[in-house]
Amino acid sequence: MRWLMRSKIHNATVTEANLAYIGSITIDKDLLEMAGLWAGERVLVVSNTSGARLETYTIEGARGSGEICMNGAAAHLIRKGEQIIIMGFELVDRPIQPKVILVDESNRFVRSLVEVENTAVSI
């Protein structure tokens, strides 16, 4: 069995960083569904801006809002306006084709991507 990337939201922009919240990352429900992520799922979040990396879990945000909010302690590491990648993984015994979506600076779906030998290809 191996951990393989199953879902990815690429180039999302953090719309809010809320230190007062208990924790996690809030993601627009449309984006969760397009990427195949579930509310409560463990994800790896990587900042293209600062290089910070952290694990947390997802919270469903309002559908169509474009919301990507770092909550609680994670808001110390990744701040509003940073560009991030959000990845979900699965323990499998066979290769899988991940769902990868590219979003614009307003976190609106641009297109699906396929990861092929370390290169993202539009589909």
Q: Which residues are catalytic?
A: 24, 57
Residue 56 token pair: 């947390």
**Which residues lie closer than 8 Å to 36 by C-beta, 6 or more apart?**
6, 7, 88, 99
SS3 98: coil
CA 88/CA 41 separation, integer angstroms: 8
